Amino acid sequence: MRLNDLIEGLAMHQVSGSTSEEIFGIAFHSKEVQPHFLFVAIKGVNHNGHDFISEAIRRGAKAIIAETVPETHREVTWITVPDTRIALAQVAARFLDDPSLALKVVGITGTNGKTTTSYLLESVFRAAGYNPGVIGTINYRFGNIVRQSLNTTPESLEIQKLLAHMVKERVSHVAMEVSSHALDQNRVEGVNFAVGVFTNLTPEHLDYHGTMEEYTQSKAKLFSRFLEQSKIAGGKFAVLNQDDPQTSHFRSLTSVSVVRYGMGSDVDITIEEAQVSQEGIRGTLKTPRGNIKITSSLFGRFNLYNIMAAAGAAICLDIPLEAIRSGIENFISVPGRMERIGQERNFTILVDYAHTPDALEKALFSLRELAPIRIITVFGCGGDRDRNKRPMMGEIAAQLSDLVVITSDNPRTERPEAIIAEIEEGVKSVGLEKISLSESPYRKGYFTVVDRFEAIQVALHMAKRGDIVLVAGKGHEDYQIIGKQRIPFDDREKITEALDKIKP
């Protein structure tokens, strides 16, 4: 594509040099630049692409998009723009022929529930006879292709490449998890959403956003900016959780059609006669197009909301009720989301990604509803991240568990013992006492075990008939970050390994 066609419509401060050059590709990493490429210098958290412009030119870049005017390198075309992230997204979409226009894209945002909602939607799309694709926390997948996810929502150029590949593979519908980082950094600029889904909002990523207000505004951009400017033909919809306090704010920011879901009466979609047990969920899904009986193998009352969110998006896309029912029923589980391990045991072991106070509280409340003899919770908190949540999660675990084993998560560059000590403050605040491993396994209390595998072993040794052991925080992750090293570690594999040492 010629450069002048590629940059048409960009907000530009200045253009220096020829715009008639033929552009063979786009890159935002200098090492990926090839001859006749356009290099877009974006500012990251740790690196600034403007520092690598010279390398990009040495590698053959014919044009540069940047936010500053050059003092040298006049031998290439230079385009200055107010925001290179927006420019990258726009040129990527244009270079790849706006692939999202050929798809039905559902963007899902919120603190918790995004992944499960995307999996449910994928199942519903498949039940309706469509060819689905998913971009999310666990992986990016479509057809026979599965790629490991490095970010919940990748950079804009990668998103457009994924969507273009999906179009080539005849994908029709896409469920995309949209993170607050992606929204704040405009990574989904140029994605033409048909539906935006809001799950819930509770404190998370405040180390990045700074305040809840900034975090909320980032989430709101899906509805106030990206859904609004979508160029798809036909109606656009916002599917909002009426039971979350932020829904009224999000609703005020968008002019698209709104579909509300929740457990109250003043909603468009709800579930009545809900029964939640260790076997799963049963109930009647009420929608504007009629009611259907549903069954699901998912654990927990919070999954009622994920089911309603997925059903709401499907309704907006005119998917038949029978396909919605079948998709919900056929879906078994999400890797690392209330995933059951060691089914042959006389106690229940679950692995869950709950790594925020809200997610942990919802998980434990749901388990309490199942009336176990005891709940044994193993969890930690990540290092170099929001410290405020550590005592909060300790308090929640102590209030809703019988035994708590505090351990490491991804300590990163912090000392695990220091993180555990901050979690302990919350545990102590509700009066739960620290006990030793030699004391009665039936006494309420908490342990601290720095090594996560050891902590899992302790919890499983303590478990008796009728108990539930929840190993929380890492879910599907197959690594631990200690220092700056990523070390193989999968809770599910470690549980299986520990169980092999315990007689049934």
pLDDT tens, residue by residue, 325-362: 999 999 998 999 999 998 878 999 999 999 999 899 99
Closest residue by Cα to residue 162 from 174, 326, 302: 174
Band (165; pLDDT cuts 50, 70, 90): very high
Tens of pLDDT, residue by residue over 109-158, are 999 999 999 999 999 999 999 999 999 999 999 999 999 888 878 999 99
Q: For 257, phi and psi rounded to 5 degrees?
A: -65, 135
**Per-residue model confidence (pLDDT) at position 55:** 94
**Per-residue model confidence (pLDDT) at position 45:** 73
Sign of the C-alpha dihedral computed for residues 107, 311, 365 and 266 taken in this order: positive
> For the chain, what percent of residues have pLDDT higher than 70?
98
**Per-residue model confidence (pLDDT) at position 47:** 84
**Contact partners, residue 238, CB within 8 Å, separation at least 6:** 195, 196, 197, 198, 223, 227, 250, 251, 254, 256, 257, 258, 259
**Per-residue model confidence (pLDDT) at position 278:** 83
**Per-residue model confidence (pLDDT) at position 206:** 67
Band (71; pLDDT cuts 50, 70, 90): low
445, amino acid identity: G
Domain architecture of the chain: domains with CATH: 3-95 (3.40.1390.10), 99-330 (3.40.1190.10), 339-499 (3.90.190.20)
Residue 5 has pLDDT above 90, yes or no: yes
How far apart, in whole angstroms, are the C-alpha atoms of residue 2 and residue 385? 44
Which structure tokens are listed for 254?
A: 């968008």
How far apart, in whole angstroms, are the C-alpha atoms of residue 165 and residue 101? 13
Which of 150-154, 213-217, 311-315, 449-453 is predicted with the least confidence, judged by mean pLDDT? 150-154
Residue 31 has pLDDT above 80, yes or no: yes
Q: What's the half-sphere exposure (Cβ side, CA atoms, 13 Å) at 379?
A: 38
Which of 156-160, 258-262, 309-313, 443-447 is predicted with the least confidence, judged by mean pLDDT? 443-447
**Per-residue model confidence (pLDDT) at position 232:** 93
Residue 203 has pLDDT above 80, yes or no: no
332, amino acid identity: I
Contact present, 406 and 380 (Cβ < 8 Å)? yes
Stated pTM of the model:
0.89
As a whole number, the mean pLDDT across the chain is 94
Average pLDDT, integer, range 36-62: 92
Residue 440 has pLDDT above 80, yes or no: no
How far apart, in whole angstroms, are the C-alpha atoms of residue 459 and residue 172? 45
How far apart, in whole angstroms, are the C-alpha atoms of residue 246 and residue 198? 9
**Per-residue model confidence (pLDDT) at position 233:** 85
- Strand order of the β-sheet with 270-277 is 270-277, 280-287, 290-296
Tens of pLDDT, residue by residue over 466-492, are 999 999 999 999 999 999 999 999 999
